[in-house]
């Protein structure tokens, strides 16, 4: 299992547009991908789960990838977070 922690820098937090892009990117990999905040973890391949976290600016989220292509998935997701959130 690979893991990446990130503190949200976007003033709007994880809102609809980047959440949709994140879900689409996570769904491109066969491994299990989760995103967690404050001890609550959701499937990063489901838009409603990602949005339900309510991640705001300054809050830390943890992305985890477990399974086939986990290295590639976590690299792509961490790059996405750094560029967009």
Residues marked active site are found at 15
Instruction: Please give the Cα distance from 81 to 85 (Å, whole number).
Output: 5
Pair 31, 70: CB distance under 8 Å: yes
CB-CB contact of 36 with 64 (8 Å): yes
């Amino acid at each position: 299992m690979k893991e990446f922690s990130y503190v949200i820098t976007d003033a709007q937090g994880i809102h609809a547009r980047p959440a949709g892009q994140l879900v689409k990117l996570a769904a491109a990999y066969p491994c299990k991908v989760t995103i967690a905040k404050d001890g609550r973890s959701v499937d990063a391949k489901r838009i409603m789960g990602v949005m339900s976290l309510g991640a705001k600016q300054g809050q830390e989220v943890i992305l985890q990838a477990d399974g086939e292509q986990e290295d590639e998935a976590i690299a792509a997701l961490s790059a996405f977070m750094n560029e967009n959130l």
